[in-house]
Amino acid sequence: MIRQYVKKHQNFVCGGVRKDSNGVQLPSMKHRQVILSSNRLIFRNLRLNFSTKISTADSISKYEGVVGLEVHAQISSKSKLFSSSPVEFGAPTNTKVSFFDAAFPGTLPVLNKSCVEAGILTALALNCTVNKISTFDRKHYFYPDLPAGFQITQQFKPLASNGYIKFVVHGKTNNSPSYECIAYLKQIQLEQDSGRSFHVKGAKSLIDLNRAGIGLMELVFEPNLKNGTEAAALVKALISVLKQIGTCTCEMEEGTLRVDANVSVNKIGEPFGVRTEVKNINSLRYIARAVDYEMERQIKIIENGGLIVNETRAYDYSSKKTIFMRDKEILQDYRFMPEPNLPPIRLYDNSDKDKLENCDNVLNIDDFQKRLPVLPEKERETLICKYKLPLNVADRIVHSSGFMKIFKVAASRINDYSSICNFLFLQLGKST
């Protein structure tokens, strides 16, 4: 139906074909980007026209979701990634901005060592391979809250790669079983945060550069999740790890942890579908809702004969729907290039002892391995193996603030572990 609609209207919507006085076809003079944008407009209008409800139970069962997350974790440090400006949430507008943060000509970046240390510690906690040599790149795009017109990031040679994290997914109902899942981490890269835009009445926007230049860790996960419940469970487990090692406060309401979800659907056994990206989701509950809604939206479009457009969307918290933001940028749009003002980050381990003897200001990866505390995954295994607790109970204790310490103290005096758990959950309140 869509193809017939496009064919019927292509002469005036897509540039179509032109004819001379003899009826000979002439090539269209419209730019390819205009054609693509017009096609997207057609498909988007068609999706609105074909928004009738489908039999969700039958249709959804034929499809599977593919979800990959990109998590931006703000590094807990006293100063920004490439300048000495202090980091302070809630400071008066534009009071924590250096000349470099504001992109004054002639200013140069100076790498914050503590941000690199936080990145290494996070990488080891997430079972990543820390790369001994990593480099910085410029990612060009033009927003008012990015004064330089580019972001310094690590696109091609990141700080760490090939990690994983195990987490528990709880059923939506009490009768649904909990199960353990694993998410694979493609890479961790250091990058700058942008400023903040505040849209006011009319066509004006106000810019606060206090956040511009704060160090971020971008954690790029492989797309091996299936639904919103798994996505929210992954972020919950990640928050526990980052808080345990102290590299990020993970206060989502303050924007120190932001999540982008790449979502696509396909019929079972068929290739992956076209993905959309849902940007800047800032709570665990909304992560699950946004992903599940986007999956249902795409299934509805496909079932009604529509096509999915590769685009960036946002989750509207009031309507509980994802809404269109902009067409999805392709890789070439960012015009990546090496950052000329920063040398590579060079790290070492114990195998490089000959290189470490005469160097004081170096970072030894093996030293950071010794600094790792007991992580939530290990605590959960202890509760299951030593105390014989069920998976869902062990996970609830691990993710509830202070419950692990209370349980260990009580278990050292009382052998009735189920009674201890009942006390924790019923008397001390609901778990987080």
Q: State mean pLDDT over 291-308.
A: 95
**So what's the pLDDT on residue 121?**
98
d(CA 194, CA 146): 6
> DSSP of 119-161, one letter per residue?
HHHHHHHTTPEEPSEE--EEEE---TT-TTSEEEE-SSS-SEE
Judging by DSSP bridges, how do beta strands 257-267 and 63-74 pair with one another? Answer: antiparallel
> DSSP of 311-362, one letter per residue?
EEEEEETTTTEEEEEEEPPPGGGG--EE-TTSPPEE-B-GGGHHHHTT-SS-
> Cβ(82)–Cβ(110) under 8 Å?
yes
**So what's the pLDDT on residue 366?**
94
Residue position matching structure tokens 């961790």: 188
More confident residue, 200 or 60: 200
**So what's the pLDDT on residue 176?**
82
Q: State mean pLDDT over 408-427.
A: 91
- Beta bridge partner(s), residue 140: 150
**Res. 35: pLDDT tops 70:** no
**Res. 359: pLDDT tops 50:** yes
Q: Given pLDDT bands bounded at 50, 70 and 90, which one contains residue 361?
A: confident
**Res. 75: pLDDT tops 80:** yes
**So what's the pLDDT on residue 92?**
96
**Res. 71: pLDDT tops 50:** yes
Q: Given pLDDT bands bounded at 50, 70 and 90, which one contains residue 56?
A: low
Q: Which stretch of 87-96, 218-227, 354-363 has the lowest confidence by average pLDDT?
A: 354-363
CB atoms within 10 A of CB 31: 10
- In the numeric block, which tokens belong to residue 163? 């990690």
Crossing angle, helix 391-398 and helix 376-385, to 10 degrees? 140
| Eight-state DSSP code of residue 423 | I
Q: What percent of the chain has pLDDT over 70?
A: 83
Q: State mean pLDDT over 34-40.
A: 49
- Beta bridge partner(s), residue 322: 315
**So what's the pLDDT on residue 429?**
62
Q: State mean pLDDT over 359-382.
A: 92
**Res. 163: pLDDT tops 70:** yes
**So what's the pLDDT on residue 32?**
44
- In the numeric block, which tokens belong to residue 432? 């987080």
**So what's the pLDDT on residue 12?**
38
d(CA 73, CA 340): 25
Indicate the SS3 state at residue 22. coil
Phi, psi of 13 (to 5 degrees): -105, -40
Q: Within a 13 Å sphere around the CA of 408, how many CA atoms are in the beta-carbon half?
A: 8
**So what's the pLDDT on residue 358?**
67
**So what's the pLDDT on residue 46?**
46
Q: Is the dihedral of CA 91, 92, 93, 97 positive or negative?
A: negative
**So what's the pLDDT on residue 331?**
57
User: pLDDT tens for residues 321-352?
Assistant: 999 998 876 656 899 999 999 999 999 998 88
- Maximum Cα–Cα distance across the chain: 98
Judging by DSSP bridges, how do beta strands 311-316 and 276-281 pair with one another? Answer: parallel
Q: Given pLDDT bands bounded at 50, 70 and 90, which one contains residue 371?
A: very high
**Res. 179: pLDDT tops 90:** yes
Amino acid at the residue 62: K
The C-alpha torsion from 61 through 62 and 64 to 65, rounded to 10°, is -80
- Distance, CA of 270 to chain centre: 26
Q: State mean pLDDT over 41-61.
A: 52
Q: State mean pLDDT over 198-204.
A: 83
Q: Given pLDDT bands bounded at 50, 70 and 90, which one contains residue 48?
A: very low
Q: In what order do the strands lie in the sheet with 63-74?
A: 129-130, 160-169, 179-192, 215-221, 63-74, 257-267, 276-281, 311-316, 321-327
244-271 burial code (b ≥16 CB/10 A, e <16): bbebbbbebeebbbbbbbbbbbbeeeee
Q: Which stretch of 26-35, 86-95, 108-117, 311-320 has the lowest confidence by average pLDDT?
A: 26-35
Q: Given pLDDT bands bounded at 50, 70 and 90, which one contains residue 13?
A: very low
User: pLDDT tens for residues 236-294?
Assistant: 999 999 999 999 999 999 999 999 999 999 999 999 999 999 999 999 999 999 999 99
- Beta bridge partner(s), residue 18: 26
**So what's the pLDDT on residue 4?**
47
Nearest to 211 by CA among 103, 101, 73: 101
**Res. 413: pLDDT tops 90:** yes
Amino acid at the residue 17: V
**So what's the pLDDT on residue 173?**
73
> DSSP of 223-255, one letter per residue?
S-B-SHHHHHHHHHHHHHHHHHHTS----GGGT
Q: Which stretch of 26-35, 133-142, 188-197, 275-284 has the lowest confidence by average pLDDT?
A: 26-35
Nearest to 193 by CA among 266, 279, 87: 87
**So what's the pLDDT on residue 57?**
58
pTM of the model: 0.85
**So what's the pLDDT on residue 14?**
40
Q: Given pLDDT bands bounded at 50, 70 and 90, which one contains residue 300?
A: very high
Nearest to 293 by CA among 231, 367, 371: 231
